[in-house]
Each structure stands twice: as structure tokens, then as C-alpha cells.
Structure 1
Amino acid sequence: MDARKAEHARRALEAAKTISFEDAAVAYFNDHEKKWKNAKHRAQFLSTLKAYAFPTIGSLPVANIDTGLVLKCIEEIWKTKTETASRVRGRIEAVLDWATVRGYRTGDNPARWNGLISEVLPARGKAQKTVHHAALPFSDLPAFMAALRERGGVATRALEFTILTAARTGEAIGARGDEIDFAEKMWKIPLDRMKASREHRVPLSDRAIEILETIPREAKNPFIFIGPRRGGLSNMAMAAVLKRMNREDITVHGFRSTFRDWAAERTNYQNQIVEMALAHVVGNKVEAAYRRGDLFEKRRRLMAESRLNLPPSRT
């Protein structure tokens, strides 16, 4: 009788240690949800696993997953959707690391890149050529801005503001009223909305201030650029403006390249100033430790000079 009880207890313990990959992924997500400050990235974690991993390994115990099964999830899309496949691999690896620490599996992680997956699949840079965002030549920018200012609408003003500040789409459409310092002509983007997870101060030109002062606002709506439904604009709102202008040959993000090309070819500003204007991480950790400032006043002069390429405001 005691032996039977012991066997039953052993089986119960083993069953308690069994968890499917899908359940482990959800548990991992719940444990780490707060680390994703970007709502889009938070949503992508489980959505990519649902699309590419769960159909193959979702119902399997994490203890049974090997490298062959991981490859089944990502190998087919490695050449066509390399960035997505790479992220799926990293997310599988993270879930399996979590499962190991929790005691649900043992041994090496079958999804690790170095010395394992890297021996089978080519590196991302070799698997798929980088596709750059289509950008407007900087010599065409004044005419484009003149045409843009002839058009009305919140999304149109958001696009103009985005170009004037060399901002990313998410930074611009997520802009809130309390981030603007009109006295200092500055837009302070908090770290939780920045790609580099670091606060970014943006100098504002007179035209950028003019847009902010005249754009329609809604009571109790924190967003500067309001959407058709209560809240902010969608990610595609500014792209839709380009489409209505019959400019599907360029992208919103491409205007950052336009700014970068103009600064490199038409100004003498140091590269680090231009890169900081684009909110790129500059230099290594040692260099960053010695240069704690953000070169704000130099960036203000750079952004003011960029106004020379644009037509004067007609408002």
C-alpha cells in the first residue's frame, strides 16, 4: 500500500513538472510583461509565437523540445522574413530558459544561436538583404513641404511635425501635451517611448511650435495629434497622407534618411550631433560615460539650419 502511494506521489510530481510550450510562453509573458514599455512590442511577443511556434511545438512539453523542432518553426521563413524568424528564435530561447530555471526542463537550450542554430542557418545579414526605407531626395524637400502645407487634416500636420523634428512615427503620433515646453521650444520624449529607452530632448523650430499651437485638441485627450476615434493617430495615418498625395514611392520613416543625407552633404556638423538629432545611440559605453550631455544647443542650431531648405510658413 505504501509503495502504491509512493508511486502515485511520484507520478503526481512528474505531472506537476510537465508544462506545454504554449503554457510556458504565456507564463513567461505574464512574468515579464512590464519590461515591454512599447505596447506594440508587448503584443508582438505572443502574436509571433502563435503564428510560427505554437502550431509546431505549442502543445509539446517543454522538456521534449529539441533543436530540430525549433528549426521547424523558423527555417522556412528564415530567408523571406529573416527579422521575424530571428525574433521568434530569440523568444523560443527565452521561454525555454525560463522553463529550465523553473525546473520544467534540463540541459542546454536547443534554441540558442551561438554554436547551435548558427551552424545550420546563415546569419541575418547574409540570409536577406537589408531593405532601406524609401526616402525623398533632400533637394526635393522644399517643394514637398510646400505641397504638404497646402493640405489640411491632423494626420497631415503630424507628418509635417514628424519631418521637422526628424522623429520616428511612434514618437510623433504618441506625443502628448505635457511633453512640450513652449518657453524653451523643446519636446521632451520620455524614455518609455524611445527605442533606445533613453529620454530624448528635441529642439522645436518656429514652424513646429506653430503646428503645436494651432492643432485642434480634445478635452481630456492627452495626445497632441488626435485620431478619428478618441485617442491618438494610428501607425498608418501619416502613410495614408503620402498615399493621398500620390507619393507611395517614399515612406514616413524615409524622411529621417532625407535629414541624414542633407546634414552629411550640406552641413559641417559632426556625425555625433546628427546621430543624436536622430536619437541614435552614439559611440560605445566608454565614450558615453565621458560625454553625458546630449549636445542640445548644437542640435538646435542644426535643426534651425535645416529650416533654410524649407519654404517659409504661409500661416
Structure 2
Amino acid sequence: MSRTIQKLNPRKLDGLSEPGWHGDGEGLWLRIKPNGSKSWKFVWVRDGKRREMGLGSYRAYTLAEAREMAVAARNLLKEGQDPLEFRKAVHELEEKERAESVEKTKPTAVAPTFLTYAKEYIAAHEEGWSNEKHIWQWTNSLTKHAKAILTKRVDMITPDDLVAILKPIWVKIPDTAGRVRGRIENILDAAKAQGHIKSPWENPARWKGNLVHRLPKRKRLATGHYSAVPYEAMPDFFQAVRHRPAPAARALELTVLCATRTSETLKARWREIDLKRGTWTIPAERMKMRVEHSIPLSVTAVELLKMIAQGRSPKPDDFVFPGQKVGKPLSQMSMTMVMRRMDLGHYTVHGMRSAFRDYMGDMTGHAENIIEHALAHQVGDSTARAYRRKNAFDKRRLVMADWAEFLIGTVVEFNLDGEVQAEAA
């Protein structure tokens, strides 16, 4: 190309500051704006109309690079193409290829298996569970009774799968079956909420309008929600427990005497117990209803606790029933194992509360609301509970004494006001 075309002097460009259009020839221009900014332009005329295409800023490209771009634009014009339309088409093609490349590198969105997501769900909720036994219960019940869906994707589970899982245990172990169904329903709902299951979708574990029509009606246990030793057999059972030497047997003994829940007994600390006054105050955070519960200890319960503390000099924060690991209580399964070793594994520890309730309702004249208070059940509205809390404690002491005396073989007769009438061995 002749020098008459390349009019701009590379050595003088940096000093060039006069606003306006400075031509290099054959359509290449350096434009300087009043604010001092410089940019390269390619200008041509097509169909009688002036066309302009920006090539980039002066700082981004040298004069030589700008001239190369101008040559490429002139070649396109010779081929009958519009440089602006050509550049737009190239940019669109590059953008399409870039998008396709990104799409190919994205991982395929595949819903997790039920087992994988169940582990995530349990891990996410375990901090909010006050009872660490919940973690074991959830994991054990699902791996044991939901094997058929563990490796299935959460979005592929059907009502037929749920029927196949639940039908064999629905009547045989109804309480466990009900909990398994509820846990599966919760996990699948959470999977849907996190986008692992696409709409439209209905939870295959849903009871109403779904499984209620496909599973047989369950029979409830005659003694209540948990399988319980009949109260008529409780004195013999209690004596058998007292003759067993294991620490877990002492925990079971106290659980029976106080009609407490498993975790309430096993996580008891000495600071909760006042042996002089004969009271055990369980803080609200350890109670199912999140309400502080004071238990009037019977003489038998006080003697048991004194025996447990003998020779130990326990500190206030020590567990009453310490486990093998330092700073941990006995295992949640420890009392259940005692019953299994007694060949009574078909009964539950929680069922002792049912035996207590049945005995009190059938064989004594204690008021129903006092018995419910003894079980830490909420009775009446908040106003009624506030009023009764002060007066119920002494009457509950009679209830617990009655229960202890029944267990050790002493019969106490009460009138309808809960007052002792007669006592016989």
C-alpha cells in the first residue's frame, strides 16, 4: 500500500490532541473528542449512506493494528458484505458457541437417591432435636423398614413403593409403621421444596386421600400407645428389676417409680434433685412440653437415689446415671436392654407410664387431672394450669407414694378426695 494512503504519523499520534476526525486514508480515521478521548473508526459509504464502525480505543490498539482491521473491512466491502453486519453475525456465533460450551460443562441435574437426601435431611435437622435419640431412631427406622426405596431417586418414588414398604408392618408394628410413613413424607416434602422434585407432584407418602385408601385399618394396643406390662404384674416386675445389679436396672427402677420418660431419667443431673425435700425438678428444656416439671419423690425413690449416690460424692452437674464415656449418660437403649435380658423385650420402657396411668385410673380415687399432672401432661388452658400448679404438688406426692407402695407390696386406700383411709401390708 502506498505511503499516500497511510497519512498518520505513528510517532506524532501521542501528541495529537486537536478534537475532530484525523484520516489515515481508505476509510480509517482517528477520532478525538473534545474531552480528549481517542478511538479508531472505519467509515464507508454504501447505497449513498455513510456507515461507521468503531474499531476500538486508541489505547487498546496501535496504528498498525487499526490499519489491519481497516484492511479486513475493505476486503469485506470488496466481497459485497457489510462489515457491521458481518461483525454482528460473528459475535452472535461466538456467543452461541460460548453458551453451548458452558451448557456442556454444567453437571446434569439428577435428583438424589432417597438415602442420600435422607442423610442430608437428618444432618440439617439434628441440631434442632432436643433428644439425640431421634437421630438414631430416624436412621434406624428408615434403613430397616424403607430398604426398597433407599436407592431410588426421590422423584421416582411412587405410592406403590410406599404400600410395599408399609403393608408388612402396618398391623404388626403399627406405631413404628406410622412413624416411618411420616418420616418419609417429611423427607420427600423437603426434597420437593429444594427443587429435587418437579411439579406437578403429590407426595406418595401422604396419608389423606392416598394411603388411607390402600392400607388396612390399624389396631391400637389395648394398654395404650406403647406396649406395657399390665399393672397387675408390675409389683413382680419391679421386684425382679430391683434384684438386677446393672446401673441401667437402677435407671429403670427410678423410671418406674417416677413414671418418667426415658430421656428424662437418663439425662438427670444431681443438681435437679433435692433429697432433703424429696423433689426432682426437671428443667423445661428437657421436657417434651417444654414446661418445668417437679416430681414429688416417694420414700422408696429417695432411698434409691441415696443408694446410687453412696460413696460417689457426685457434683451438681454429674449425671445420676453416667455412661461409659466421660461426660455422657447411659445409652438410650440401656433400659430396653435390661428388659430384653429379662425376656420382656416385647414391652417398652415408655409403656411403664401406661401401667401407672391404668393403675391410678382403675384402682384409686385420685382425680384425673392430678394423675395427668403426675405424667407431665398439660391439663386445661394456661389460666387453669397456672392456678392448679401451686396446689397440685402435695396431692401428687400422695399419688407417687401410692404408686411406690403398690410396687413394693403395700396397699394404700384413698377416699375420693385423695386422702389416706387405711393401710395394709
Note whether the superposition's TM-score is higher than 0.5. Answer: yes
CA distance in 2, matches of 1:260, 1:153: 27
Q: Which residue of 1 aligns with 2:113?
A: 20
CA distance in 2, matches of 1:19, 1:150: 51
AA at the equivalent of 1:120: R
CA distance in 2, matches of 1:268, 1:127: 25
Q: Which residue of 1 aligns with 2:49?
A: none
2:371 alignment partner, one of 274, 279, 292: 274
1:290 is the counterpart of 2:384:
yes
Structure number with higher relative contact order (C-alpha < 8 Å, ≥ 6 residues apart) = 1
**How far did 1:28 drift?**
1.3
Q: Is the 8 A contact 1:226 1:232 kept in 2?
A: yes
CA distance in 2, matches of 1:26, 1:195: 25
Q: Which residue of 1 aligns with 2:166?
A: 74
1:90 alignment partner, one of 164, 173, 182: 182
**How far did 1:119 drift?**
1.6
3-state DSSP of counterpart to 2:108: helix
**How far did 1:228 drift?**
6.5
Q: What percent of counterpart residues are identical? A: 36
3-state DSSP of counterpart to 2:281: strand
Q: Which residue of 2 aligns with 1:109?
A: 203
Unaligned segments of structure 1, at least 5 residues? none
2:283 alignment partner, one of 190, 193, 217: 190
For the structure 1 residues 8 and 198, does the alpha-carbon distance in structure 2 shift closer, same or farther, using more than 3 Å as the test? farther
Q: Which residue of 2 aligns with 1:132?
A: 227
Deviations 1:159-214 (A, max 9, x none): 44333322234432332212213354211223444344443211112332232223
1:222 alignment partner, one of 315, 318, 325: 318
Residues paired across the two proteins, number: 305
Deviations 1:277-303 (A, max 9, x none): 1223435xxx34532354323212322
Larger Rg: 2
Q: Which residue of 1 aligns with 2:125?
A: 32
Q: Which has the higher strand share?
A: 2
1:49 is the counterpart of 2:142:
yes
For the structure 1 residues 45 and 150, does the alpha-carbon distance in structure 2 shift closer, same or farther, using more than 3 Å as the test? closer
For the structure 1 residues 258 and 84, does the alpha-carbon distance in structure 2 shift closer, same or farther, using more than 3 Å as the test? closer
Q: Which residue of 1 aligns with 2:152?
A: 60
For the structure 1 residues 169 and 81, does the alpha-carbon distance in structure 2 shift closer, same or farther, using more than 3 Å as the test? same
Deviations 1:249-298 (A, max 9, x none): 98755544443344334432210111221223435xxx345323543232
CA distance in 2, matches of 1:147, 1:59: 45
CA distance in 2, matches of 1:176, 1:165: 15
- TM, length-normalised to structure 1: 0.77
CA distance in 2, matches of 1:126, 1:11: 56
Unaligned segments of structure 2, at least 5 residues? 1-92, 411-425
CA distance in 1, matches of 2:138, 2:122: 8
CA distance in 1, matches of 2:367, 2:131: 31
Moved more, 43-52 or 224-233: 224-233
CA distance in 1, matches of 2:397, 2:263: 22
- TM, length-normalised to structure 2: 0.59
